[in-house]
Amino acid sequence: MAQPSILWLRQDLRLADHAALTAAAAAGPVILVYVLDDETPGNWCMGAASRWWLHKSLESLGRRVPLVLRRGRADVVLSELLGQSGATSLHFTRDYAPWSAGLERRVKDACDAAGVACHRYGGYLLHEPEAIRNGLGEVYKVYTPFSKACFAAGEPRSPRPVPNFKTSNHALGSDELASWDLLPRRPNWAKGFEAYWQPGEEGARSRLAAFIASGLADYADARDRPDRDVTSRLSAHLHFGEISPAQCWHAVRAAQSAANGRLDRAAEKFLKEILWREFSYHLLHLRPDLPEQPFRPEFSAFPWQVNEADLVLWQRGRTGYPIVDAGMRELWSSGIMHNRVRMIVASFLIKDLLIPWQAGERWFWDTLVDADIASNAASWQWVAGCGADAAPYFRIFNPVLQGEKFDPLGAYVRKWVPELARLPDPFVHRPWEAPTPVLQAAGVELGRNYPHPLVDHGVARDRALAAFKAIKGAAE
Ligand SMILES: Cc1cc2nc3c(=O)[nH]c(=O)nc-3n(C[C@H](O)[C@H](O)[C@H](O)COP(=O)(O)OP(=O)(O)OC[C@H]3O[C@@H](n4cnc5c(N)ncnc54)[C@H](O)[C@@H]3O)c2cc1C
């Protein structure tokens, strides 16, 4: 009987297109290990919504293959398991979080000390950060040339099938998943999540198929519309590695070629979004402090105003701006928020309320099921204007006009802010302008069952521009 190999599962909770599993399987029986490590990431250990997802995803994978679950510092736990299992090799997928390089080095050292071969594979990204570089050999800091370089690098490799493999029946013992307390206790704030999500590889695969069948055709034209269900909703599946970006890429390419040109624009747009994920990771690789520090250092001097009470109203969806409140309530109820609305709520927090972007990033970290160290940080910095290739700070979203443009009939607001559901279309994004009889007929009493606007957007905009001026000299 061949000696077993350990497959250290991380953000690659799938069996298909899994280079590390394929290699481990070729070497003999495989012990699949997942370590819940809250210590190594420090301040960035998984948020509450991610923990809910992780529980469900491990549950789903555990129904298909036996998993060894352990809790503790991953390098320490793996080192123990090497001794207990007699494994002769350890395989894992590379991760790019700021703490991962050090962790991976320590795991390699533990393997070396035990005389065990240690193998690291790609797969979480389409292109390793070392592989896409500009003419100076540096990481791209601007998205458009970055995406062009990715397209020029050629099509990503084809996804691998699930390998034939035997799991080792080595009696290592495993924690009970339930003992990790990943699910909320009382109150169960995640009870609505079940209706939206099927975590796990099968859920990811059916989500991708559903998107290709019914969302992709409209993706290029309607992806900015939160009232339409056309985006893929694959972000959490991609984050946990239940599906690989290469699988998404090739499935969309296959649909494109079957459609004889009809899906060309849509496919191009979708693949470019996948490359935004990629871009975020390359930036994080360049700047591991991206989750905490502005990419543009002059923003360190920005005169933020930390106001806890305003932050709480924003978190609870009680700002008095319907599109902002709808987004924040969608997030709380479902663990997700439409991309356009993420931009609107982020702009409102940063520019209308002058609250530091890191406070919003933290809230998203705890509440999003797709909370991702790279995409979250890069996107918050993008909206704040302090990122590598960011929207200029002075481009300040008007939440009323944004609402009217992207949710023209107010369907999204009506869904998530039911107290405004009966307002006529012209007022659904600006209830404070509705005449009293209109408000009365719709059952809306401002200040009682729906708040007055927390700030006057025009005044807030001027205040934000004045604050920006304070650092503008340094920015030029
Ligand atoms: C303030 C803010 C915070 C964000 N935080 C996160 C986060 O924590 N995790 C996360 O995955 N995305 C984040 N995004 C990006 C984006 O909003 C989500 O990826 C997208 O809404 C997920 O929905 P979808 O899967 O239907 O996307 P689709 O439109 O179907 O896009 C397909 C895939 O492309 C990737 N993608 C799309 N847009 C972006 C983007 N702007 N940046 C990086 N990747 C992108 C995602 O993996 C997504 O699943 C954030 C955006 C903003 C403005």
pLDDT digits (tens, 9 = 90+) for 23-55: 999 999 999 999 999 999 999 999 999 999 999
Note the Cα 268 to chain centre separation in Å.
Answer: 21
Q: What Cα–Cα distance (Å) separates residue 336 from each residue in 180, 328, 340, 473? A: 23, 9, 12, 38
The tokens for 73 are 């510092």
Q: Whose CA is nearest to atom 19 of ligand 1?
A: 235
Write the pLDDT tens digit of every residue in 111-163: 999 999 999 999 999 999 999 999 999 999 999 999 999 999 999 999 999 99
H or E stretch at 346: helix 339-347
**Residue 197 within a domain:** no
What CATH number is attached to the domain comprising 243?
A: 1.25.40.80
Compute and round to an integer the Cα radius of gyration of the chain. Answer: 24
Could you report the per-residue pLDDT of 224-266, keeping only the tens digit for each?
A: 999 999 999 999 999 999 999 999 999 999 999 999 889 999 9
pLDDT for the residue numbered 1: 64
Does residue 425 share a domain with residue 407? yes
Residue 103, both tokens: 């962790």
Same domain, 237 and 335: no
Domain identity same for 303 and 210: no
Centroid of ligand 1 to alpha carbon of 5 (angstroms): 35
Pairing of strands 117-121, 89-93: parallel
What confidence score (pLDDT) does residue 314 get? Answer: 98
Residues 323, 402, single domain; the answer is yes
Pocket of ligand 1 (CB under 6 A): 223, 231-235, 238-239, 273-274, 276-277, 280, 339, 342-343, 346, 364, 368, 370-372, 375-376, 379-380, 383
What residues does 446 pair with on adjacent strands?
Answer: 450
d(CA 331, CA 208): 21
SS3 254: helix
| Residue 184, domain member (yes or no) | no
SS3 458: helix
Vertex 147, ends 124 and 472: CA angle to 5°? Answer: 105
Alpha helices in 17-130 (DSSP H): 19-27, 48-64, 74-85, 100-114
Instruction: Give the model's pLDDT for residue 393.
Output: 80
Residue 93 counted as domain residue: yes
Give the range of the structural domain holding residue 142, as residue numbers without chain letter.
125-158+202-286
Interior CA angle at 364 toward 472 and 71, to 5°?
Answer: 130
- State in Å: Cα 235 to ligand 1 middle: 6
Question: If you take atom 30 of ligand 1, which residue's CA is the nearest one?
Answer: 232
Structure token pair of residue 185: 């206790």
Tell me, yes or no, whether 139 and 237 share the same domain: yes
Q: Roughly what angle, to the nearest 10 degrees, separates helices 373-384 and 339-347?
A: 50
Number of domains observed in the structure of the chain: 3
292 falls within a domain: no
Domain C-terminal end among 95, 122, 149: 122
Residues 375 and 466 in one domain: yes
Q: What is the CATH number of the domain that holds 342?
A: 1.10.579.10
398 is a catalytic site residue: no
Compute φ and ψ for 17, nearest 5 degrees.
Answer: 45, 55
207 plus 245 within the same structural domain: yes
34 DSSP assignment: E
Residue 450 identity (one-letter amino acid): Y
| The 117-121 sheet, strands edge to edge | 67-71, 30-36, 5-9, 89-93, 117-121
Let me know whether 414 and 274 are in one domain: no
Q: What is the DSSP letter of 86?
A: T
Based on the domain organization, do 251 and 301 belong to the same domain?
no
Q: How much is the pLDDT for 405?
A: 98
Q: Answer whether residue 349 is part of any domain.
A: yes
Distance CA 381, CA 358 (A): 9
Please tell me the distance from the alpha carbon of residue 295 to that of residue 390, in angstroms, as a whole number: 10
Evaluate whether residue 377 is within a structural domain: yes
Are 259 and 399 found together in one domain?
A: no
Q: How do 5-9 and 67-71 pair as beta strands?
A: unpaired
Assigned domain for 440 exists:
yes
Active site residue 197: no
The answer to whether residue 339 is catalytic is yes
Name the stretches of the chain with pLDDT < 70. Answer: 1, 169-170, 473-476
Check whether residue 60 and residue 101 sit in a common domain: yes
Predicted pLDDT at 251 = 98
CATH code of the domain containing 96: 3.40.50.620
| Domain-embedded: residue 410 | yes
- Is 260 a known active-site residue? no
Same domain, 235 and 130: yes
